[in-house]
């Protein structure tokens, strides 16, 4: 297992201010995307179309970051020919980079729903579920990035567990929105907007989960995607 | 520019039955995912829950393929330390692999809607839009994989163009489904299912588009994601 201390020592050694810079750029992009999500939720709750437009326009910056990080990864592989844990770091970052960019896309989608509120009105649920699930997935994203920064497998496992809760809450929220729709079909447009927002948030939870799974791959060299984390003995994994 | 002939010559040369095998495995996974999508559409149209279950269970196999291909990519980078176009091929495959796996997920989602038909009934549109958009995105996926196999930039560009049409058709289909909902709110559950299917298909179009963009990166070393293909002079690009 790659301990945080060994890792830091290695990083401070010969070859890699480059790896350190790559890692920092990825975490920086993570911070930007997290902010995009929080602003998107805030814009939707406060019906602030100016803030929503800000989130949508931030997406260009995030896309640029994604391309720059991929480029940096390719350059490091070509020039430095990393192996073992260094290579795992680069590959994990290529994967996380894709997830972060897609979280940015989903955050933009949530923000752009704010711009439709004037037209369709506010959902009768008053976004209770969006607020709740939104806060939860924003927390998951923060935890996943933090686990990546600190190479903390236990924290990564917690993120994966949270996703199961989000999936349940999402299903229950959708059912109650369908009920609202049946009761008052003049509100259909507004409720659909809330459903789209929830769908985006649920996807953001999945992406945060993917990031957490990359932490396990990075630290332990284990591919735990597609529910394989649940099959493993989590306690054992944690102590490896 | 990397011509198909040069590429084949290279492949047949010293170092890489390994690269060739990686590429074939990726294309094989592409074929599997394409079949998953076609079966999912067929299951939905013919209300065949057995076929739908088949699609969902195929997803495990696709997930296994994704992990095996990622593993193969990491091994090739570590052992062979590829550079230039070989490295681009490996990186493009890492990216395409993620998109293919997510197409498989979306196809499973479409299939699983079939299993809800008994409960919610059939949408009053009788899946006209799902059929139409489904066939179009299945075509895009086939073209994108074919462009990858033949390193055909023109074909890749056609896929990206098709995605713009899909986005328009998707928006228009959603509007007409909202109208159906307002007219007959007893059909809300059924129409929502059709909406979810359309959403999944629209995403599959996006993923096919991502695959096509990787063909341009692979052949020309240009990153054309995030609408940058439209900014470039496509005719020039095609003749490079």
Give pLDDT tens digits for A6-47.
555 554 455 678 999 999 999 999 999 999 999 999 999 999
Which CA distances in Å does B112 have to A168, A220, B49?
17, 34, 8
CB contacts of B94 in chain A (<8 Å) are: 91, 94-95
Angle, helices A84-114 vs A4-12, to 10°: value is 100
> Cβ separation of B189 and A178 shorter than 8 Å?
yes
Substitution target in B61, B65, B66, B81 with the highest count of A β-carbons within 10 Å is B81
Among A98-107, A131-140, A175-184, B230-239, name the one with the lowest average pLDDT.
B230-239
Which residue of B67, B81, B192 is in closest CB contact with A81? Answer: B81
Taking alpha carbons only, the member of B193, B156, B154, B155 closest to residue B177 is B193
> Cβ separation of B74 and A66 shorter than 8 Å?
no
Q: What is the pTM of this model?
A: 0.90
More confident of the two residues B1 and A127: A127
**Res B115: pLDDT:** 87
User: Distance of alpha carbon B219 from its chain centroid, rounded?
Assistant: 19
C-alpha A126/C-alpha A233 separation (Å) is 41
Q: How many CB atoms lie within 10 A of CB B169?
A: 18
Taking CA–CA distances from B62, the nearest residue in chain A reads A226
For residues B153-168, b (16+ Cβ closer than 10 Å) or e, as one string? bebbbbbbebbeebee
Provide the residue-wise pLDDT of chain B in tens; the chain has 240 residues.
555 555 555 544 556 789 999 999 999 999 999 999 999 999 999 999 999 999 999 999 999 999 999 999 999 999 888 888 899 999 999 999 999 999 999 999 999 999 888 777 777 777 889 999 999 999 999 999 999 999 999 999 999 999 999 999 999 999 999 999 988 888 899 999 999 999 999 999 999 999 999 999 999 888 888 877 766 655 556 555
> Cβ separation of B188 and A199 shorter than 8 Å?
no
C-alpha B33/C-alpha B143 separation (Å) is 13
**Res B232: pLDDT:** 62
Give how far B98 is from chain A: nearest CA, Å: 8
The structural domains of chain A, ordered by start, are 4-239 (1.20.58.220)
Q: Are A220 and A1 in contact (CB under 8 A)?
A: yes
Taking CA–CA distances from B191, the nearest residue in chain A reads A178
Give how far A182 is from chain B: nearest CA, Å: 6
> Cβ separation of A91 and B81 shorter than 8 Å?
no
Q: Are A132 and A162 in contact (CB under 8 A)?
A: no
The answer to whether A206 contacts chain B (CB < 8 Å) is no
Q: Token pair of B106, please?
A: 């979306």
Q: Are B222 and B215 in contact (CB under 8 A)?
A: no
CB contacts of A226 in chain B (<8 Å) are: 60, 63, 66-67
**Res A234: pLDDT:** 59
């Amino acid at each position: 297992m790659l301990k945080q201390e060994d890792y830091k020592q290695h990083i401070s050694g010969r070859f890699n201010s480059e790896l350190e810079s790559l890692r920092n750029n990825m975490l920086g992009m993570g911070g930007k995307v997290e902010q995009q999500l929080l602003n998107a939720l805030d814009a939707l709750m406060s019906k602030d179309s100016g803030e929503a437009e800000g989130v949508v326009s931030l997406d260009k910056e995030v896309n640029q970051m994604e391309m720059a990080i991929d480029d940096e990864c390719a350059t490091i592989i070509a020039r430095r020919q990393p192996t073992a844990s260094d290579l795992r770091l680069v590959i994990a970052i290529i994967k996380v980079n894709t997830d972060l960019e897609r979280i940015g896309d989903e955050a933009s989608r949530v923000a752009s729903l704010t711009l439709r509120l004037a037209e369709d009105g506010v959902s009768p649920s008053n976004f209770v579920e969006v607020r709740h699930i939104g806060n939860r997935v924003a927390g998951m994203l923060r935890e996943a990035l933090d686990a990546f920064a600190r190479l903390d497998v236990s924290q990564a496992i917690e993120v994966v567990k949270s996703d199961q809760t989000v999936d349940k809450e999402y299903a229950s929220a959708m059912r109650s929105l369908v009920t609202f729709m049946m009761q008052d079909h003049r509100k259909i447009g507004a409720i659909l907007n809330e459903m789209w927002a929830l769908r985006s948030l649920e996807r953001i939870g999945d992406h945060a989960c993917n990031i957490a799974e990359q932490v396990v791959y990075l630290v332990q060299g284990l591919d735990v995607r597609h529910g394989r984390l649940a099959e493993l003995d989590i306690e054992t994994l944690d102590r490896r």
